[in-house]
Amino acid sequence: MRQSLFICIGGLEFLRNIKDCVNAFLSLLNTQYEIVLGRKGVAVTLRITFDKKDCFHLMGLQYLIDRPELNRDREKIFDKVLMGDITTKQVESSDFYERIKERIDYLPLLEMLLDSNETVFKYNKKANIYSKIEADFLMKNNMENRNLYLFLSQGKNDNYYCRSFFPEKKKDYTKNQALWTMLYKKKCNTITGKEIILYDKLTTSNKHKSLEERAMEFNGELMLDGEYDWGELVGREKI
pLDDT for res 213: 56
227 is a domain residue: no
Number of domains in the chain: 1
**0.85 exceeded by pTM:** no
**Residues near 215 by Cβ (< 8 Å), separated by ≥ 6?**
221, 222
Q: From CA 116, how far away is CA 182, in angstroms rounded? A: 11
Residue 32 forms part of a structural domain = yes
Q: What is the largest CA-CA distance in the chain?
A: 81
Q: Is residue 228 part of a domain?
A: no
Domain contains 88: yes
Contact 169, 18 (CB under 8 A): no
Question: Any residues with CB less than 8 A from the CB of 230 and at least 6 apart, and which?
Answer: 214
- Asked if the model's pLDDT at residue 55 lies above 80, the reply is yes
pLDDT score of 222: 52
On whether residue 33 sits in a domain, the answer given is yes
CB 112 within 8 A of CB 83: no
Domain encompassing residue 78: 7-200
* DSSP 3-state of 32: strand
pLDDT of residue 226: 47
* In a domain? residue 122: yes
pLDDT over threshold 70, residue 12: no
The answer to whether residues 147 and 129 touch, using CB atoms and an 8 Å cutoff, is no
Rounded CA gap, 230 and 77, in Å?
60
In a domain, 82, yes or no: yes
Residue 9: pLDDT band with limits 50, 70, 90: very low
